[in-house]
């Protein structure tokens, strides 16, 4: 999930809503006049999809400070996914990177999540706004963020490997079954799975 990368550029000065100075409590995408996305302040009250710890898509990942990734989606999009197996327009997925600790209180092993938020990234589906329907936005502590440029590798990686509609539903266990039942798994994901199965068979 870490490949939801933080790159900052590009403005889309299309028809927009001004983001307020007060926290943005909306569950649908809200933009500033100059095309930035307003951070959805209440995402921790949205639907939790899954957590990972120290996930990496590179076999040469360097072990550093351990970190969890929590993913949330706006409730309206979650309900639509349960019915259709895919995401409606105005879906927002929020990835929160959070520090992992071992020693604390009476804990002695494994990892728990601590208060260090190391980054927040939002993946937005807004069909009329983005040429590829989806866009990424990386936030630090800022209330607004520019769109990650379309050339960033997060877009091509999600296009090439994500299970449903450019999203990594293969890592959201309660949704993967639904996508299977509804027949919404992407051709790219099904090809990856078939290749993996063929490789495993070859090794035997």
Q: What are 37's two structure tokens? A: 């996305």
Q: Which residues pair with 94 in a beta bridge?
A: 72, 122
* Beta carbon of residue 43, minimum distance to a second copy (angstroms, whole number): 10
CB 164 within 8 A of CB 186: yes
Q: Which is nearer to a second copy, 109 or 128 (CB)?
A: 109
Give Cβ neighbours of residue 61 (< 8 Å, ≥ 6 apart).
54
* Beta carbon of residue 128, minimum distance to a second copy (angstroms, whole number): 29
Q: What are 36's two structure tokens? A: 């930035």
Binding mask 91-130 for a second copy (x = CB under 8 A): -------x-x---xxxxxxxxxxxx---------------
CB 18 within 8 A of CB 34: no
Tell whether the torsion through CA atoms of 190, 55, 71 and 94 is positive or negative.
negative
Binding mask 7-26 for a second copy (x = CB under 8 A): --------------------
* Beta carbon of residue 173, minimum distance to a second copy (angstroms, whole number): 4
Q: Considering only residues 169 through 188, tell me which ones interact with a second copy, judged by CB under 8 A.
A: 170-171, 173-174, 176-177
Count Cβ atoms below 10 Å from residue 32 Cβ, excluding itself: 19
Positions that interact with a second copy (CB under 8 A): 44-45, 47-48, 50-59, 61, 68, 70, 72, 75, 78, 98, 100, 104-115, 157, 161, 163, 168, 170-171, 173-174, 176-177, 189, 192-193
């Amino acid at each position: 999930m870490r490949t939801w990368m933080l790159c900052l550029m590009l403005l889309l000065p299309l028809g927009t809503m001004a983001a307020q100075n007060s926290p943005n409590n909306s569950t649908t995408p809200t933009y500033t006049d100059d095309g930035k996305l307003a951070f959805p302040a209440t995402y921790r009250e949205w639907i939790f999809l899954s957590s990972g710890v120290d996930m990496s898509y590179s076999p040469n990942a360097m072990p550093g400070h351990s970190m969890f990734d929590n993913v949330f989606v706006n409730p309206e999009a979650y309900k639509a996914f349960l019915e259709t197996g895919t995401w409606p327009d105005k879906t927002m997925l929020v990835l929160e990177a959070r520090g992992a600790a071992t020693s604390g209180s009476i804990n002695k092993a494994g990892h728990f999540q601590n208060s260090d938020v190391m980054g927040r990234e939002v993946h937005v589906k807004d069909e009329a706004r983005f040429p590829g329907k989806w866009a990424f936005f990386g936030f630090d502590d800022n209330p607004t963020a520019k769109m990650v440029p379309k050339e960033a590798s997060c877009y091509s990686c999600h296009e090439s490997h994500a299970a449903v509609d450019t999203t990594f539903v293969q890592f959201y266990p309660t949704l993967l079954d639904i996508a299977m039942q509804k027949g919404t798994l992407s051709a790219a994901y099904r090809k990856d799975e078939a290749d993996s199965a063929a490789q495993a068979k070859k090794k035997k």
